[in-house]
Amino acid sequence: MQLELELNGRQRTFEAAKSDILLDVLRRNGYTGPKRGCDTGACGMCTVQIDGEPAMSCVTPVANVAGATVETIEGLGTQDDLHPIQRAFVDNSALQCGFCIPGMIMRSKALLEENPDPTETEVREALEDNLCRCTGYKKIVEAVLDAADRMDGESPAATDGGERIPSRTPSTCPREEGRSR
Ligand code: FES
Ligand code: FES
C-alpha cells in the first residue's frame, strides 16, 4: 500500500505493508528519532504525536495514520536552532544516555500544547507512561516546567550547558505556589 500522511509539516508518501507498524515505517525511511525500546507500548520511547495527541508508534498500525498528521522529534528544532523544550532539556541537564528523550520531549510537547502552565504533579502524570532508566525523572520534570516558562515568555536561553537563564521574574501568583523546583 501507499501510505500518505503529513509528516513534520510535509505531505509524504511511503511504501508500506498493511501489516506494518508506524515505528517501522518511520525508522525505515530515516526518521530514527522515535526509539525502539520495548516494542510493546510499555516504555514510551517511540512516542510521536498523531493529530496532536501523543501516541506510541510501536503499537500503531500504519493503516490508522493514513491521512493523519504525524510529528516526530525531527519536526522540532535543529542542532543550531533547538525547540524551547529541547533547549530546556539541555540547559537543565535532563538527559544521560538520551535514549528516552525523544519520546519524553514529544510527550512533553503534547502536554504543553494542551496545558501551557502545568504543575509538577501534572507533568509527572503526563509523563508516567514514558520510562527512563538513567535520570530518576527529577531533572526531566524540572526541564518540562522550565520549558513551560520559556514557551510562555519565549525568552532566550543558554544552550551551552551553562547557568540557566531565568525566563521571568519570580511570580507572586498564588497558582504557582504549589510548584516545586
Ligand atoms: S518502544 Fe514503543 S512503547 Fe516501548
Ligand atoms: S536518559 Fe537514559 S533512558 Fe532516559
Task: Quick: pLDDT tens for 48-61.
Answer: 999 999 999 999 99
pLDDT digits (tens, 9 = 90+) for 106-130: 999 999 999 999 999 999 999 999 9
94 alpha carbon to ligand 2 midpoint, in Å? 9
What does the pLDDT average to over 76-96?
Answer: 96
Residue 101 and residue 17: Cα distance in Å, rounded? 29
Distance, in Å, from the CA atom of 181 to the CA atom of 11, rounded to the nearest integer, reads 41
Q: Which amino acid is at 78?
A: T
Give the fold, CATH level 3, of 84-152: DNA polymerase; domain 1 (1.10.150)
Contact partners, residue 181, CB within 8 Å, separation at least 6: 142, 145
User: What contacts 24, CB < 8 A, 6 or more positions away?
Assistant: none
The ligand that comes nearest to the alpha carbon of residue 93 is: 2
* Measured distance between the N- and C-terminal CA atoms of the chain, rounded to whole angstroms: 49
**Per-residue pLDDT, 152:** 85
Quote the ligand 1 centre to 151 CA distance (angstroms): 28
| Residues within 6 Å of ligand 2 by CB | 95-101, 132-135
Q: At residue 171, does pLDDT exceed 90?
A: no
Q: How far is the CA of 35 from the centre of ligand 1 (A)?
A: 7
pLDDT given at position 153? 61
CATH class for domain 2-75? alpha beta
Distance CA 19, CA 118 (A): 38
Tell me whether domains 2-75 and 84-152 share a fold: no
CB of residue 37 inside a 6 A radius of ligand 1: yes
Ligand 1 atom nearest the C-alpha of 23 is 2
Domain ranges, ordered by start, for the chain = 2-75, 84-152
Tell whether pTM > 0.75. Answer: yes
Regarding the beta carbon of 41 and ligand 1, being less than 6 Å apart is answered yes
Task: Return mean pLDDT, the chain.
Answer: 88
User: What is d(CA 151, CA 116) in angstroms, rounded to the nearest whole number?
Assistant: 8
Average pLDDT on 134-144 reads 97
